[in-house]
Amino acid sequence: MSVIEVKNLTVKYENTVALYDVSFSIEKGTLAIVIGPNGAGKSTLIKSILNLVPFAGEVKIFGKPFNKLSKEEHLKIGYVPQKFNFPKSLPITVDEIMHLSFAKIPISKLEKEKRIEKFLKMAHLENLRNYKIGDLSGGQMQRVLIARALMFLPEIILMDEPLAGIDVAGEKTFYEFIDSIHQRFGITIMLVSHDVTSVDKYADLVLCLNKRLVCYGKPSEVLTESNFHKLYGQDMGAFRHKPCPKDGPCELYKEQEVK
Amino acid sequence: MPLFLQRALAAGIITSILCAFVGVFVITRKMAFFANAVAHSSLTGIAIGFLVNTNPFWSAIGFGALVGMGIGYLYRKSVLFIDTVIGIFLPSSMALGIILIGFVKGYKPSLLSYLFGDILAVTNSDLYIISVLSLISFIFLTAFFHEIIIISLDEDWARVKGVAVNPIDYTFFVILSLIIVVSTKIVGIILVSALIVIPPASAMNVARNFKETMIYSILFGIISAILGIWFSYLFDISTGPSIVITASIIFAITLIARRKK
What's the CA gap between B162 and B142, in Å, rounded? 19
A256 pLDDT band (50/70/90 cuts)? very low
Nearest residue, CB atoms, B210 vs list A77, A85, A92: A92
Domain extent, residue B83, equals 3-260
ipTM of the complex: 0.82
* Residues in Cβ contact with B83 at an 8 Å cutoff, skipping those fewer than 6 apart: B31, B33
B85 contacts B74 by C-beta, under 8 angstroms: yes
State the burial class of residue B170 (Cβ atoms within 10 Å of its Cβ: 0-12, 13-18, 19+).
middle
Q: How many CB atoms lie within 10 A of CB A127?
A: 9
Q: Tell me how many domains chain B contains.
A: 1
Determine the residue among A4, A66, A79, A84 to mutate to test chain B binding: the one whose Cβ has the most chain B Cβ atoms within 10 Å: A79
Q: Does residue A251 carry a pLDDT above 50?
A: no
- pLDDT score recorded for residue A7: 94
B42 phi/psi in degrees, rounded to 5: -65, -20
Task: State whether residue A242 is helix, strand or coil.
Answer: coil
Most confident of A224-238, B87-101, B177-191: B87-101
Beta carbon pairs, A and B, within 8 Å: 74
Q: What's the Cα-to-Cα distance from A115 to each of A110, A112, B147, B196, rounded to whole Å?
A: 9, 5, 21, 36
Encode pLDDT of B43-62 as tens digits: 899 889 888 888 888 888 88
B11 contacts B119 by C-beta, under 8 angstroms: yes
Domain boundaries, chain A: 2-76+154-254, 83-153
Encode pLDDT of A128-144 as tens digits: 999 998 888 888 888 88
**A101 to chain B: which residues are within 8 Å by CB?**
150, 157, 161
Cross-chain Cβ contact A86/B147 below 8 Å? no
CATH topology of domain A2-76+154-254: Rossmann fold (3.40.50)
Residue (of B146, B137, B247) closest to B187 by Cα position: B247
